């Protein structure tokens, strides 16, 4: 048994043994769970994938005379302004007015909220437009100005649902045409299969019952630091699990927050999804303290032991039908092909495994160098246990 404080003391002294979620697999296979749990202090995880339920609160410096923004746009993308006078929220999937007016299906959406966030983090100038009805204390009715990450008061990445614990494999079973979804382009008659998870590197798959990941957990977020501030929307830990405790369909999620001014455009990428819309690809890494043997066992999970469901996105999913057309593991998915109804089908991943590996390695090095300590959750996520 170890404690957070014991591990943090080792981090401060430069003595902590930190490995990635890939590396712990080999350690457990060679030394066993008992020795691995004793020797390893922290396992780092990572994921880098489109996370549509993302966005940022921005507080711009008010004009003279002042304005109470009721409608606002950032680079032509609508931002929600139903807050205080100079607070706005830009959602990752909001589209620019130009894209909405000129959309040619199934065209590519060129620019949305996710792109605004990336440009802001990259230090680019952003055109701000706001209108108001005017009040005695906020008399100005319209402003058009330019802001950047340095000139605004606060920019807070606030994502209500990220880092999904497992996700569907998407196919187009019934349609005789190509369809365009948030899971990418799906060719007719099961012409391909798309998935979106880092598998054995993914944070919540390494902590299936949320023993260490909870409210207050400090994380790698968008290249900087952030925190889990609540369970994410659509968090559902009650789904069926395998014998290893790992969920076999979409389950847990986390809500995360962090200072956008400390983040990097390398790890926050505005993303255009052909025929569907815009999103934000987010890099998230979460350290898992090895407090006991059970936690060590969970972090040693392998791609071949993580299963998920094949779901039709042409008819079933749009109509709320949750029917599985097979169960596959992530080793099969990452091989490039799976078998669906006796047919060999090519696979494609929306989540970058290589970038997830890089996130886990960066976080590992920050901890080893004493630049990142662990935080004990102040409240656990609901686990369904």
> Is 140 in the same domain as 200?
no
Q: Please, are residues 284 and 256 in contact by the beta-carbon 8 Å criterion?
A: yes
For residues 61 and 103, state if they share a domain: yes
List, for residues 308-327, the tens digit of each pLDDT value. Answer: 999 999 999 999 999 999 99
**pTM score:** 0.97
CA–CA gap between residue 29 and residue 24 (Å, rounded): 8
Is residue 59 located within the same domain as residue 183?
A: no
Whether 370 is covered by a domain: the verdict is: yes
With cut-offs at 50, 70 and 90, classify the pLDDT of residue 172. very high
17 and 94 belong to one structural domain: no
DSSP H helix total and E strand total for the chain: 7, 26
280 and 330: one domain? yes
260 and 363 housed in the same domain: yes
Give the angle 321-237-383 at the CA atoms, nearest 5°. 170
pLDDT in tens, 106-120: 567 889 999 999 999
pLDDT greater than 80 at residue 42: yes
End-of-domain residue from the set 157, 190, 220: 157
pLDDT digit string, tens, across residues 260-305: 999 999 999 999 999 999 999 999 999 999 999 999 999 999 999 9
Q: How far apart are CA 357 and CA 198, in angstroms?
A: 9
**The total number of structural domains that make up the chain:** 2
Residue 52 catalytic? no
User: CA 87 to CA 294: how far, in whole Å?
Assistant: 45
Last residue of a domain, one of 100, 122, 157: 157
Q: Which helix (H) or strand (E) holds 327?
A: strand 324-329
Domain boundary among 122, 157, 192: 157
* CA–CA dist 21, 367 (Å, integer): 14
Of 137, 150, 320, 344, the active-site residue reads 137
Asked if residues 117 and 270 have their Cβ atoms less than 8 Å apart, the reply is yes
* Domain region containing 87: 55-157
Q: Looking at the structure, tell me whether residues 81 and 96 fall in a common domain.
A: yes
Is 385 within a domain?
A: no
Give CA separation, 142 vs 87, 113, 129, 195, in Å: 15, 22, 7, 45
pLDDT score, position 98: 84
Looking at the structure, tell me whether residues 47 and 97 fall in a common domain. no
- Domain annotation covers residue 163: no
């Amino acid at each position: 048994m170890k404690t957070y404080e014991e591990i943090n003391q080792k981090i401060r002294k430069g003595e902590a043994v930190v490995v990635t979620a890939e590396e712990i697999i080999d350690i457990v296979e060679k030394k066993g769970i008992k020795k691995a749990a004793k020797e390893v202090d922290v396992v780092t995880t990572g994921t880098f994938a489109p996370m549509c339920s993302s966005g940022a609160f921005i507080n711009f410096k008010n004009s003279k005379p002042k304005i109470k923004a009721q409608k606002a746009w950032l680079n032509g993308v609508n931002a929600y302004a139903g807050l205080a006078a100079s607070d706005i929220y830009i959602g990752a999937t909001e589209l620019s007015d130009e894209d909405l007016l000129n959309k040619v299906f199934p065209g590519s959406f060129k620019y949305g909220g996710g792109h605004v966030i990336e440009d802001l983090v990259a230090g680019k100038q952003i055109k701000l437009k706001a209108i108001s009805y005017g009040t005695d204390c906020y008399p100005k009715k319209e402003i058009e100005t330019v802001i950047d990450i340095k000139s605004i008061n606060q920019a807070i990445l606030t994502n209500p649902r990220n880092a999904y614990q497992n996700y569907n494999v998407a196919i187009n079973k019934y349609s005789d045409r190509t369809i365009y979804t948030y899971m990418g382009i799906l060719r007719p008659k099961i012409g391909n299969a798309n998935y979106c998870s880092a598998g054995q590197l993914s944070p919540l798959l390494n902590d299936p019952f949320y023993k260490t990941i909870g409210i207050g957990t400090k994380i790698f977020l968008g290249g900087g630091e952030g925190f889990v501030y609540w369970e994410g929307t659509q968090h559902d830990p009650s789904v069926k699990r395998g014998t290893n405790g790992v969920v076999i369909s979409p389950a847990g999620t986390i809500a995360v927050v962090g200072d956008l001014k400390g983040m990097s455009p390398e790890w926050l990428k505005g993303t255009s999804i052909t025929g569907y819309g815009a999103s934000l690809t987010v890099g998230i890494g979460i350290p898992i303290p090895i407090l006991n043997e059970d936690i060590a066992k969970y972090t040693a999970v392998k791609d071949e032991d993580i299963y998920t469901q094949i779901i039709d996105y042409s008819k079933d999913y749009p109509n709320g039908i949750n029917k599985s057309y097979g169960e596959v593991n992530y080793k099969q998915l990452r091989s490039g092909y799976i078998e669906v109804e006796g047919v060999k089908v090519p696979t494609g991943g929306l989540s970058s495994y290589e970038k997830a590996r890089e996130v886990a390695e960066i976080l590992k090095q920050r901890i080893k160098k004493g630049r990142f300590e662990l935080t004990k959750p102040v409240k656990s996520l609901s686990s369904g246990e």
